[in-house]
Structure 1
Amino acid sequence: MIVAIDAGNSRIKWGVNDGNAWLDSGVLATADVAWLSEAADEWPANARVAICNVAGPEVAESISSLLAPRHATISFLRARVAACGVRNTYERPEQLGADRWAALIGARGMLAGACLVVCAGTATTIDLLDATGVFRGGLILPGFDLMRTALAHNTAQLPLAEGVFRAEPRNTLDAIFSGCLQAQLGAVERMFAGIAAEPDARCLLTGGGAGSLAAHLKVPCQLVDNLILNGLARFAASP
C-alpha cells in the first residue's frame, strides 16, 4: 500500500494507492497542513509514504512530524539522473523540481510516445519528454492567477480581472483575463511544436488551472487529475 502526498505552494493533495487503483484521496490548503493528521488517521499503518514537496522546508518538517508516529517508511522524492524509465538531462539533475520530476514519471507510465507535461498551478511548468523517455528541458512561468495578481499589484489602474476569454477583447477586464490565458496557451503551443511531428504526440495537463488551458489549446491534449500522485506511486513501487 502506498500513500502519495503532493505538497504544492497552494494545495496539498494526497491519495492512497493499492498498486492498481486509488482507494481514497483528498485535498487541503497548504496553509492547513496540520489537518493532514486527520486524514492520516485513516491511512493503513504499514503503507509506504512518498512525498513531493515544493512548499518549502517548514511544510516538509510539518508533514514529517505529523506522519512519523504513524508511518515508519516516509520518503521525499528528489530528482536524479534516471528513474522509472525517465532520464533527466537537466544541467544539474538534482535541481529539477520534485513536482516536475514526479509528473514526468507519471507521464512515462501513461504514454509510450513523446509528450508535453504541463502542470498548471501557482506556477506553470511545461516539460518535454521524448519517446525514449528523455526529459529534454522545459519552462517555468507564472501561473494564470499569479499573472493577473501581478498586474493588479504592480500597476496603478489595472484591477484583479474577473473577465472572460475572448479572441478580441473590447474591455479591460476581458483584455487582462484573455492576455494572461493567451500567454499560457502560447507557451504550451510553442513548446509542443518541438514534438508535434512525432507519432501520437500529446500534451498532458494537470493542476488547478489545467481545465482552462485544455478548453482553448490547439494541440492534442488530455487532462490528468492526479499526474503527480501517479508519478509518486509509480516511483514508490519501483525496485
Structure 2
Amino acid sequence: MILLLDLGNTRLKFALLDGDDFIRRGAFAWDADIAHELSALWNGWPSPRRIVGASVVDAARETAVAVAAGKAFDLEPTWVRTPAQACGVSNAYAEPQRLGVDRFLAMVDAFAAGRAPCVLASVGTALTLDALDADGRHLGGWIAPGPLLMQQSVLGATAQVRPEHPGTVRDLADNTADGLASGCWQACAALVERFVDRAAPQLGGAPRLTLGGGDADVLAPMLDRDVTLVPDAVLRGLAVWARTHAPAPDIA
C-alpha cells in the first residue's frame, strides 16, 4: 500500500492506494491543525509501505504533513518534483521544475487513462490550462486567477464594490453581487473556451476537454462544449507515478 498526498493551495487531499484502488481517502483545509488532525486520523489506518506526495505549498506545510506521517507510520514522504519527462509525458517548460507538479501529474493521469489528446483545465485558487497531445507531449498552457480569487481581487482593489451577499451567475445581472459573480465565472468560462480553440489545431482539431479542481462542477455547465469531469486527477497521476517509480521489491 502507498499513501498518496496532494498538497494544494486550498487544502490537503490524501488517499491510501492498494493495488489500483483507493481504499481510504480524506481531505483537510489548511486552517485546520494539520499535524494533529492527520496523526489522529492516520493512527487508525493500515500502515503503508511508502508515502509519496506532491506539493505546491510552502516548506512549513510540507513539514507539518511529514511530521504527522512520521508519528502515524514512522515513514518519511517522498516528494515528487516536476521532471522534464516521466510516465510517458514530456514537459514543455524550458525550466521543467517551474511547471506546477499538480499540473504535470494531472497530465500523467490523462495520458495513462487514454484521454490524450486533450485540454486539461483545473479550476481552483488558480485557473490552469494545459494542452497535451496524443503522444504525451505537453504543448504549453495558461494560468489565470480562479473565479473566486477574481472576485476577491475586485473586492480588495475597490472601495465601493461591497456586495451584501454571495452573487448568482446570471446572463444579465441587475445588482452588484450577481454582476461580480457573473463576470468572474463567465470570464473563466470564456478563457477555457478560447484556450481550447487556440490549442485545437495542434491537438487534431477536436481535443477532449477535461475539468478538475474544487470548482470544476460549477464551471462545467457554463461551457459551450462537452466536458469530462476528472476528480482527484492529481492523486490519480501520483498513483501512476508511484507505481512507475516503485523500488524493485515493492508491488503496490
After superposing on structure 2, the runs of 4+ consecutive aligned residues of structure 1 that deviate more than 3 Å are 194-197
The one-letter code of the counterpart of 1:29 is A
Alpha-carbon separation, structure 2, partners of 1:147 and 1:20? 37
| Unmatched runs of 5 consecutive residues or more in structure 1 | none
1:80 aligns with 2:83: yes
Q: Deviations over 1:152-208 (max 9, x none)?
A: 121011125611112222222211111101111111111111344637621111111
Cα distance in 1 between the residues matched to 2:115 and 2:229: 17
Partner residue, 1:25: 25
Residue pairs, 1:213-228, within 5 angstroms: 213-228=219-234
Please report how far the alpha carbon of residue 112 of structure 1 lies from its aligned counterpart in structure 2 after TM superposition. 4.3
- Name 2:97's counterpart in structure 1: 94
Residues 37-87 of structure 1: CA distance to partner in whole angstroms, max 9, x if unpaired? 123223332332111111211001111122124143621111111111100
Code of the residue aligned with 1:30 in structure 2: it is W
Counterpart among 155, 159, 164 of residue 162 in structure 2? 159
Aligned-residue Cα RMSD (Å) equals 1.7
Residue type matched to 2:180 in 1?
I
Answer whether contact 1:102 1:228 (CA < 8 A) is retained.
yes
Among the aligned pairs, what percent are the same residue? 34
Q: Which residue does 2:43 correspond to in 1? A: 41
When normalised by structure 2's length, the TM-score is: 0.88
Q: Please state how far the C-alpha of 1:25 moved relative to its aligned partner.
A: 0.9
> In structure 2, what is the equivalent of residue 181 of structure 1?
185
Distance in 2, matches of 1:39 and 1:203, equals 36
* Aligned equivalents of 2:206, 2:44: Cα separation in 1: 41
Give the length in aligned residue pairs.
239
Counterpart amino acid of 1:179? Answer: G
- Take 2:41 and 2:110, find their aligned partners in 1: how far apart are those partners? 27
Q: Deviations over 1:3-40 (max 9, x none)?
A: 11111121111111112211111111123222121232
TM-score (norm 1): 0.93
Q: Which residue of 2 aligns with 1:172?
A: 176
Task: Give the one of 114, 139, 142 matched to 2:117.
Answer: 114
Q: Distance in 1 between matches of 2:243 and 2:206?
A: 27
